[in-house]
Structure 1
Amino acid sequence: MNIEERFLKYVSYDTQSDEYSNTTPSTLKQLDLAKELVKEMLEIGISDAHLDEYGIVYGTIKGNGGTGDIIGFIAHMDTSPDASGKNIKPQKITNYDGSIIELNKELGLSLNPEEFTSLKKMIGHDLITTDGTTLLGADDKAGVAIIMDFANYLYQHPEIKHNDIKIAFTPDEEVGRGTDNFNVKKFNAKYAYTVDGGDIAEYNYENFNAYSANVEITGKSIHPGNAKNKMISAINLAIEFENMLPEEKKPYYTDGYDGFNHLHHLEGNCEKATLEYIIRNHDLQLAKKQIADFERIKTYLNDKYNYEAINLDINESYLNMAEIIKENYYIIEKLQAAMKKVGIESYASPIRGGTDGARLTFMGLPCPNIGTGGENYHGPFEFVSLTMMKQAVKIITELVKE
């Protein structure tokens, strides 16, 4: 299989994860792809390829005389719960000419380079898009395909000397659990790279400090005919809570290093309401100020209505790996050199999200992120450059060469 065939095969598997599931992995269908990957790894020559009890795939490309660092490469198998990953119908655009790409005429969906400006630097590339009814799954099956194609290439080219190379594919990254059961000791790499980014020239070692906030609201439900001075609607309290948060911290006003508070789920009635937020900032102290806003609003509303109407639960999801990576900056310098060798002028960009690598870094495995050529993840406008995917294989091959 070539890299295109691998990618199209992998996106045919529905591997959507589920944040509300308590199982490991969160959806059993992720194991279908995991088992297929183990099978392919064994066929390539990765003799220790296996699937563990937590749904994580591990394997080692055995060294052939190299004595450098043992490096790892990691990608995730699941796709986002934000859009359907079932019955994906990829569309290929060969030698993209810079024009508007029609995704779905009936739905009126298209990729216009004036809106999706990354297309402007992909003229001449081969692209794969959705048909407008699902996401594509390039996040992160592009990464999976890149690593698998890289592994196959090394076994086909034994003249490339390298030490042991570690590979892992994780479930549940999209719901924040990709590394909950990752065995860093067993993986046994000095450092690793996640292959889970966007533009091939971009690399990442800064990510958000990430928290989740669950706001449970208890109202006072009274028959509306007799509600005067008695009823307190949980729905109206939810609206009041949301409106007290800083308007400028909504995601659609932010970019770069800006933090945000994102209300991603709201449900309720007069008696009970629930708001679910994600809180993000690259600066830990600013993230703590955002958390303080939630606490302040809770206290204010409970005092205003003179009972415990608001219950707030805030949990840490992951932290910014930047400080740890800076202490091991040779990992970045090695990546910069590899990208330069394949003719790519690289640049660093803060991740406006998180990767498995962020948590792995805090678990003792420094793990910056490499691009895959994918764009517009988690929805019907997602696409990937096959041209960039092939470049990614060259980059990680350079990383392991001695």
Structure 2
Amino acid sequence: MVEIDHDFIEQQFVTYCKYNSRSDARSQAVPSTPGQVKLAKRLVADLQDLGLEAWYNEKNGFAMGYLPGNSSQDITGIGFVAHLDTTDYPAENVLPQVHPDYDGQDVVLNADQGIVMHVSEFPELTKLKGQRLITSDGTTLLGSDDKAGIAGLFGALKAFIAQPKIEHGPIYVGFGPDEETGQGAKRFDASEFPVEFAYTLDNGQPGDLEYETFNATAAKIEIEGTAVHPGNAYHLLVNAATLANQFAAALPKDQVPEESQGREGFIMLTSQVSSIDHAELHLIIRDFDWELYQAKIHLVEEIVAQINAQLDKPRLTLELTEQYVNMGDKIRENPYIVNLVLDSYHKLGLTPNVIAFRGGTDGDFITEKGIPTPNLFNAGGNFHGKYEYATTEGMALLAETIVTICQEHVAQNGQRNEAPLGQD
């Protein structure tokens, strides 16, 4: 039986939450904020204190660690990844509050300011009754995205160190910056991570597993108008604002986020700033299916071309930027990576919940670098705001899950579960 140190996990989590590691999409620094560097170097020191080899990569801002395998078998390495940064929400002077033996009722975060987390608004809180609930004081976020993943991973590493009879192969860990801005894992150095596959530990509830994400592209459209006095405008004025509205009206009304769910993709107009002489529109294009994704991109290109064909000259320019690619296609080629998790979940009594994630993860970029990397969970909730929470028990379950995956990887050495995905 694996023993997980709950108090250690809680202590690490509370400590890491106090670091302001909020990222900044406007910054050109790597990492984007100095708080992430401070936390990364703290994690390196803590890994070394546990007995791991650990280092900080100055070029990309990753804190890295390595625990040698202790198995007599030849076992391939597994990697685990969590991110350092928090989202664009107040993160200075975070004051974590521990609510022991949570009663399942409304949680007063800040009595002076009347900030309450209501069960009526967040009914999933009732499932946490009896656990050690951790929240902020309501004036900042907590940082459970993704410091719950960090703390859970530290709990697993301590279990391996404290209980050397737990058989495992080589384990590599990476704590990366700027996940929230989508820039951190683009700089990930796969040469520092000699593993067969890895898992991110980002959001989600116990039993969740995400090995598919959207394919994603950002589109920027600039429109050149011609501004003249309206009294003299006949056949001279070209209104960029009107052309922007014409473009927006041509987009399909049923392929938008508010009309999409499950595996359905969308085209979303995220911003539009326009005047007579200039307009700028930003869109995001998303789909799980590659052909449907490409069709959406082509549709945007066609609308731009059709409007330009009606004008005296091409006035609309389109700039497309690929953001990430669905990792699912590559992971389906390696079903063992998913089946290993499902087998581990069953051993732990967890009900698997395989999700097609309607977004992207660091795993997309790491998978593109040759290391297939699905996402597990971190057991926190209400991410990206003042109502974030985590529980000590949830993070401890993540730690136990990591240990079980590593043990099962040893147990299946030579007899892997390679059943096609979708068959349990």
Fold-level similarity (TM above 0.5): yes
Residue 322 of structure 1 is matched in structure 2 by 328
Q: Select which of 28, 38, 43 maps to 1:32.
A: 38
The secondary structure found in structure 2 opposite 1:3 is helix
Q: Which amino acid is 1:375 matched to?
A: G
Match of 1:353 in 2: 359
Match of 1:309 among 315, 322, 330: 315
One-letter amino acid matched to 2:79 = G
Q: Secondary structure in 2 aligned to 1:152?
A: helix
Deviation, 1:232, is 4.0
Higher deviation after alignment, 362-371 or 108-117 = 108-117
Aligned to 1:379: 385
Query: CA–CA distance in 2 between the matches of 1:227 and 1:175?
Result: 44
Rounded to whole Å, the distance in 2 between the matches of 1:158 and 1:392 is 19
- Residue by residue, what CA displacement relative to the aligned partner does 1:170-191 show, whole Å, maximum 9, x if unpaired? 1122222222222223210111
Larger CA deviation: 316-325 vs 94-103: 94-103
Q: Distance in 2 between matches of 1:3 and 1:367?
A: 24
> Which of 292, 297, 309 is the aligned partner of 1:291?
297
CA distance in 2, matches of 1:8, 1:269: 49
Alpha-carbon distance between aligned partners in 1 of 2:313 and 2:105, rounded to the nearest angstrom: 59
Q: CA deviation at 1:149?
A: 2.1
1:152 and 2:162 equivalent? no
Report deviation, 1:228.
Answer: 6.4
For the aligned residues, what is the CA RMSD? 2.6
Measured in 2, the distance between the counterparts of 1:102 and 1:238 equals: 47
Q: How far does residue 399 in structure 1 lie from its aligned partner after superposition?
A: 1.3
**Residues 328-373 of structure 1 deviation map (CA, whole Å, 9 limit, x = unaligned):** 1112121112222222121211111111112222221111111111
Q: Deviations over 1:192-221 (max 9, x none)?
A: 111113111111111111111112222333
Query: What is the match of residue 258 of structure 1?
Result: 264
**CA contact 1:142–1:372 (8 Å) conserved in 2:** yes
In structure 2, what is the equivalent of residue 76 of structure 1? 83
Matched letter for residue 335 of structure 1: V
Q: Quote the Cα distance in structure 2 between the aligned partners of 1:134 and 1:76.
A: 19
Listed as ranges, the gaps of 5+ residues in structure 2 are 1-6, 411-424
Greater shift in the superposed pair: 88-97 or 334-343: 88-97
Give the equivalent residue in structure 1 for 2:376: 370
Q: In the superposition, relative to structure 1, how do residues 384 and 233 fare at CA in structure 2: closer, same or farther (>3 Å)?
A: farther
Counterpart position of 1:12: 18
1:242 aligns with 2:236: no
Please, which of 161, 164, 168 is the counterpart of residue 167 of structure 2?
161
2:4 paired with 1:2: no
Give the whole-Å Cα distance in 2 for the aligned partners of 1:104 and 1:29: 25
Alignment of 1:126-137 (within 5 A): 126-137=132-143
User: How many angstroms apart in 2 are the aligned matches of 1:94 and 1:230?
Assistant: 71
- The answer on whether the counterparts of 2:54 and 2:63 sit within 8 Å (CA) in structure 1 is no
Aligned to 1:193, the other structure's residue is in SS state: strand
Q: What is the 5 A alignment of 1:383-398? A: 383-398=389-404
Distance 1:13 1:233 in 2: 49
SS in 2 for 1:31: helix
Offset, 1:229: 5.8
Aligned match of 1:216: 222
| Partners of 1:216 and 1:252 in 2: CA distance | 25
For the Cα contact (< 8 Å) 2:40–2:56, is it kept in 1? no
1:8-157 equivalent positions in 2, closer than 5 A: 8-67=14-73, 68-81=75-88, 83-101=89-107, 111-157=117-163
1:117-146 Cα offsets, whole Å, 9 max, x none, are 533433433333344444332221211111
Distance change >3 Å, CA 111–CA 219, structure 1 → 2: farther
Deviation at 1:167, TM superposition (A): 0.6
Which residue number corresponds to residue 3 of structure 2?
Answer: none
Larger deviation: 297-306 or 370-379?
Answer: 297-306
How far did residue 113 of structure 1 move?
Answer: 4.4
For 1:69, the aligned partner's letter is T
Aligned residue pair count: 401
- Give the AA of the match of 1:41: L
The Cα of 1:378 is off from its aligned counterpart by 2.5
Larger Rg over CA atoms = 2
Give the conservation status (yes or no) of the 8 Å contact 2:83–2:150.
yes
Are residues 128 and 275 of structure 1, via their aligned partners in 2, closer, same or farther at CA, if it must alter by over 3 Å?
farther
Distance 1:259 1:379 in 2: 26
Could you tell me how far apart the structure 1 residues matched to 2:282 and 2:139 are? 26
Aligned 1:174-193 pairs, distance under 5 A? 174-193=180-199
Whether contact under 8 Å (2:60, 2:184) holds in the other structure is no
| Cα distance, 1:385–1:285 mapped onto 2, change above 3 Å | farther
Give, in whole Å, the separation in 2 of the partners of 1:120 and 1:12.
Answer: 27
SS of 2:69 mapped into structure 1:
coil
Give me the whole-angstrom Cα distance separating, in 1, the residues matched to 2:96 and 2:242: 43
* CA deviation profile, 1:291-349 (whole Å, cap 9, x unmatched): 12321221233234433332111121111111221221112121112222222121211
Deviations 1:131-170 (A, max 9, x none): 4444332221211111122212221222212222101111
**2:208, 2:376 within 8 Å by CA — same for their partners in 1?**
yes
284-293 or 14-23, larger mean C-alpha shift: 14-23
SS of residue paired to 2:280: strand
Amino acid at match of 2:44: V
Change (3 A) 1:159 1:272: same
Local SS of the residue matching 2:53: coil
SS of alignment partner, residue 213 of structure 2? coil
| Structure 1: gaps of 5 or more residues | none
Q: Per-residue displacement from partner, 1:243-262 (whole Å, max 9, x unpaired)?
A: 33223333233222121233
